Amino acid sequence: MTNQHNQQLLDTYQRRLQILELQAAQFGINTPPHIVMEIEDLTKKIKEIENQINPTNTLKNATIPVQITNLSNNQKNDLVDLLLEMPSLSDRGTREVVLARLPKRITNSIVRHTSNKTDVSNILQTVLNYKNGLEQLVGNIRFFDDETRPMKELDLFISELGED
């Protein structure tokens, strides 16, 4: 398949996934199993196509445990503070570049704010609502801030979260 065909297929799957995720959010814990299964299937297909389009798009350090979704308020606050130390997230302009690399279904859900801390807090809360959302955000940050002290601190913090 050509990259153009793969891109069209990817766009179609992402639109369908966004609709299903909205339906799942409306149903909450009563989400019908067929919706949950289709979300899982589409997520796998999207990842496969993304890897076909750009095989080097995998994370350099996949350090984020899958179970990190329900963080305490203190953990979220600490994570927001760490994210604000990242050179790529420290100001709105560079933050836009990092966010532009996220799937549209995530970026379209982020409620933006003029305050840096509130904006990053909203970004974190939104990515935590999506499967692999935090992993994707950290992967984008790593692209710009790899080998920096703040990146190492973020990796350490996230690895400690996974141990809890």
CA-CA-CA-CA dihedral for 99, 104, 105, 110, to nearest 10: 40
Q: Is the pLDDT of residue 47 over 90?
A: no
92 and 53 in a single domain? The answer is no
Give the count of domains, the chain. Answer: 2
113 and 139 in a single domain? The answer is yes
46 and 71 in a single domain? The answer is no
31 and 91 in a single domain? The answer is no
**Mean of per-residue pLDDT scores for the chain:** 85
Q: Which domain holds residue 119?
A: 60-164
164 and 90 in a single domain? The answer is yes
54 and 77 in a single domain? The answer is no
Q: Looking at residue 66, what is its pLDDT?
A: 45
Q: Looking at residue 30, what is its pLDDT?
A: 86
Query: What is d(CA 129, CA 126) in angstroms, rounded to the nearest whole number?
Result: 5
156 and 80 in a single domain? The answer is yes
Q: Looking at residue 101, what is its pLDDT?
A: 92
Give the residue from 83, 61, 80, 75 showing the smallest Cα distance to 139.
61
Q: Is the pLDDT of residue 124 over 90?
A: yes
26 and 46 in a single domain? The answer is yes
Helix axes 92-100, 116-128, angle to 10 degrees: 20
Note the pLDDT tens digit of each residue in 67-113: 566 788 999 999 999 999 999 999 888 899 999 999 999 999 999 99
Query: What is d(CA 55, CA 1) in angstroms, rounded to the nearest whole number?
Result: 14
For the entire predicted model, the pTM comes to 0.60
116 and 150 in a single domain? The answer is yes
